Chain A
C-alpha cells in the first residue's frame, strides 16, 4: 500500500497527489510514468510522473477525473492509501542520456496542453538544473483550467500562456503561439509536446513545416504497463511499437496519431456505461432489474 501524503485540487476535476513511494522516487527520471490502482478491484491506470523527490521518497502525480477508475483515485484523501503504485515505467526522456555540453548548445520549446502540463514540468525542471534554456507554452481551455503556471514560471526561460477563450494569456491554440514565436525570429532546436492526442497531432503537423525535431509522450491504453499485453501498441514509422517499454516518448513526425486516437476509444462504450452506472449508484439509485450488471 502507498500512502497519499498530500492532495490538492488544481483545477476543476484535476487533482495533484503526492504519494509515498520511496523505491519509485529513487529511480524516477523525467519522461517516465507509473501504474496506479486505487483499490483491490480497480483498474491499472498509467499516469505520467509530475515530480519526484528521492530524498523525501515521494512521487507526485496529476490526475484528471475521466472515468470510474480516475474518479475512484480522486476520491481518496491525504492519509489514505493507494493499493498499488508501480514504476517508474517507460524509458526516460532521451535528453537525460545526452552530454550536458550538447544540451546547453540547444534551445528547447516545451508545449503542455491541459493536464499534460504536469508531466512537462519535471522535464523542464531537469533541463533547467543542467543549465539548459527552455521556453514553455502552456495551453488550456480557459483561465480556471490552467495548472502548474507558478511552478513553470520558476524553471522556464520564457513562459507563454494560451487559452481557447483568451481569459488568460493570449487567445488561441498552442500551435498559434508556436508559429508566432518562430515568426518572431526565435530559433528552436527541439520541441517536446505533451497533452491531448489531438493537440500533439497538430503540434507535429506544425513543427513538421519548420523541420523542427519534436517528441511527444503518448498516453496509450495499458493493462500491465510492463510489456506483457500489447494493448499499448502504436504505429511509429510504419512499425508497431509498445508504448510501455519502447515509449512513452516517440518522434512526433513518425507517430500515426489517427490510429492512436482510434485505439484509445477501444473501450469507450464500456467506460461510458460504467461511468453512467457509477453516477446512478452515487445518486442513490439501485437498479432492480439488473441493468447495472
Chain B
C-alpha cells in the first residue's frame, strides 16, 4: 500500500552551521526522493488538497505525472494555474492549505505537496526551454499592473497568457515585491529562484518598468487616460509598518521588521560588497509571532546577535508557519511566550538598552477565536538588549487611494474590492495585501488570478 511508506524526509543544512550563513536552509528533494514521495499520493477521486489551494493547483495530476517520470507534463500542469511554483513550494503555509486537507494526514503524515511542487518548479527553471507556455494571440487590450509582488505577477501572467499586453510597474529597484524585500535569502533565494521565476513571467510577454511609484510618478488616472491602458490591477501590497505606541519606540535601535529585512534582503546588508549599513548589536528582541517576526529573528541571529522572540500569546497561537518556528528553534532562537513589551528603555544618548515587559495569561477567546492575552498582575520585568525589532504587521499605504478619486477604502484603509477584485472604480481592480491587509504570498496570488479573470471578462464585454 502506497500510504505505508513514511513521508520522505527532506534534507536540510545543519542548524548550527546555517545559523551563521544566508544559504538556503532546505535542500529540497532530488528526483528519487520526489518520486518516492509522489508514490504516497492516493490520487483521491475528490481531491481535498485542490480545494484547499488558493490557486486551485491540480495537485494529484502533477503528482501522478511526476510519479510516472513525466516531468515536462508535471511542470505544464502546474503552469496552467501558477507561474511561481518554486516560490510557493518554499513559502506557502502548506500545513493549513493543501497538506492540511490531505487524507493521509488524518492518521499519519500528509503528502509533502509543497516539497514536490518545489522540486517540479526547480526542475522547470533548469529546463525552461523545453516547457513553452501557451500564449493566446494578441487581443489588442493593454493592462497596467501596479506592483511586481505575488498578486501582480499572478495577475500579469494569466492576462499575458490570454493575449493581453501587460506592463507591470514596480516602485523599487528590484522586481518581486515582498519576495525580494521581505522574505530572506535563506528561505527564498533571490537570484537562483525569484529572479528566474520572474524571468519566466517576462517570457510570456509581460513588460516590467522599475522605479515607478504609482500615486506619485504616475497615477491610476494617468495610466488609464494618458498612457492608454484599458484596465488597471492594483497589487501594491502591504504598507506602513505598525508600531506599538509605547514609550521609547523612537530610540536609536528600534526598527520595524520591514526596515530590518529590507536592509538585509533588498539592500544586501549582509553582503560586504554592498554599501548598506545595518545595526544589529549583541542582543536583539523581536516583538511578534508571525512569519515576518521569524524572518527577522533568524536574520538577526545570522548577523551574529543573540536573538529572542517576544510574543504576547502562547506558542499554540503563533501565526507563523510551523516549519519556520521549528527551524528558528533549531537555530537557537529563544522564545519568550506570553510576554508583552510595555516600554523600550534607553541610555542618555538615546540608544536602546533594554525592554520592559509584562507577563500575560490567556483569557476568553476574542473575535478571531483566539484566546486573548491579559496582563498578569505584578509581573513587570526588564530584559537587556541593543536592538528591538517590531514585527506587528502593517497598515495600508495611502499613496494610491489618496491620489485616485472614487477609489474607496474600508475603515482600516484597505482598498475596497469585491471577491473578484472589482474596486469602486470602473476598470480598476485590486487584490493581495492592498485589499486584505498583510496575508500570505499564495492568498495574494489567488487574488491576482481572480482579478485577472474579472479583467478578462470586463475587457471582453467592452470590446
Contacts and interface: CB of A to CB of B under 8 A. Distances in A.
Interface of A: 23-24, 27, 32, 37, 41-44, 68-69, 72, 83-89, 223-224, 226-231, 233, 235, 240, 242, 245, 259, 262-263, 265-267, 270-271, 274, 293
A230 B240 contact: yes
Interface stretch (B199-207, B208-216, B421-429): B208-216
A229 B256 CA distance: 6
Interface string B255-282: 1101100110011100011111111000
Contact of A27 (B217, B252, B256, B259): B217
B259 A230 contact: yes
B403 to A, nearest CB: 10
B357 interface: no
B51 interface: no
30 contacts: A37-B173, A41-B268, A42-B275, A43-B275, A43-B277, A84-B211, A86-B172, A89-B213, A89-B216, A224-B171, A224-B262, A224-B266, A226-B213, A226-B397, A228-B240, A228-B258, A229-B241, A229-B258, A230-B240, A230-B255, A230-B258, A230-B259, A231-B255, A231-B256, A240-B250, A266-B252, A267-B277, A270-B278, A271-B277, A274-B277
B240 A227 contact: yes
B218 interface: yes
B173 A229 contact: no
Given A37-B173, A83-B173, A229-B256, A24 B275 contact: no
Given A68-B275, A245-B397, A262 B252 contact: yes
Nearest to A259: B250
Interface string B141-158: 000000000000000000
Contacts of B259: 223, 229-231
Contacts of B229: none
Interface of B: 171-173, 181, 210-213, 216-218, 239-241, 243, 249-250, 252-253, 255-256, 258-259, 262-263, 266-268, 272-279, 349-350, 397-399
Given A85-B211, A223-B259, A263 B252 contact: yes
Contacts of B252: 262-263, 265-266
Contacts of A68: 275
B399 A227 contact: yes
B172 A226 contact: yes
Contact of A230 (B241, B275, B276): B241
From DSSP, what is the main secondary structure of chain B's interface residues? loop
B209 to A, nearest CB: 9
Contact of B243 (A86, A87, A230, A231): A230
A240 B243 contact: yes
Given A42-B275, A86-B217, A274-B275, A263 B172 contact: no
Nearest to A234: B250
A265 B251 CA distance: 11
Contacts of A226: 171-172, 213, 397, 399
Given A86-B173, A229-B262, A263-B252, A223 B267 contact: yes
